[in-house]
Amino acid sequence: MATNPRIGPVERATKRTWDEWLHFLDGIGAEDLDHGQIALQVYEELGESFGRRGWWAQSVTVAYEQHIGRRIPGQRSDGTFQCSVSRATTLGMAELMERWRAFADGDAAVQEVLAGGDVKVSGTDRRLTWRTRAVDGSSVVVTSEPKENGTASLVATQVGVPTLEANDEARERWTAVVARFLAGVQPAR
């Protein structure tokens, strides 16, 4: 069995070995608990003074669920998958989203994935978000996120993909879509 890449960071951050975590998790009967119940127990165990306690509670829980075979890497607690493609751009946040919207409206590969429902665009000074449903029932979310130098990154995410194979296909598709989009909106580096 391959070593879970989550374990090393969990051990470093929590200052506990994986065997110590397994002992704790076995002690609370984690194998018979759902994701939320395990995460809550780990959260409590980490204690109030632990920085980023919620994030690390989730990390320990996911590593454990992978360890016992309840989920495979990349699988969410509901059994679905999520993929994400992120690329830095030379564009500002608002211009990036404006150009993405125009591109997505006319791109056959993007339109083929979408369920034909409404596209919603919302935003704050921290990110602009374009979201809709895919034909497989998953959600497609594309964000424009600012960087310190006044440019922005484009992040394309598909959440709730039903199978690992479909997730791999979605990752390939979004990688190609993002590359094609960026080739048309910014000079080559």
Instruction: Note the pLDDT tens digit of each residue in 16-62.
Output: 999 999 999 999 999 999 999 999 999 999 999 998 899 999 999 99
Write down the pTM of the prediction. Answer: 0.74
Per-residue confidence at 187, pLDDT binned at 50, 70, 90? Answer: low
E-strand spans in the chain?
81-88, 120-123, 128-133, 139-146, 152-161
Q: What one-character DSSP code corresponds to residue 3?
A: P
CA dist list (Å): 106 to 34, 55, 100, 102, 181: 43, 38, 10, 7, 11
Report the candidate in 151, 106, 156 with the shortest Cα–Cα distance to residue 131: 156
Report the candidate in 189, 156, 149 with the shortest Cα–Cα distance to residue 175: 156
pLDDT of 174 strictly over 50: yes
Q: What one-character DSSP code corresponds to residue 2?
A: P
Report the candidate in 67, 125, 65, 66 with the shortest Cα–Cα distance to residue 97: 125
pLDDT of 101 strictly over 90: yes
Residue 64 CA from chain centroid, whole number: 19
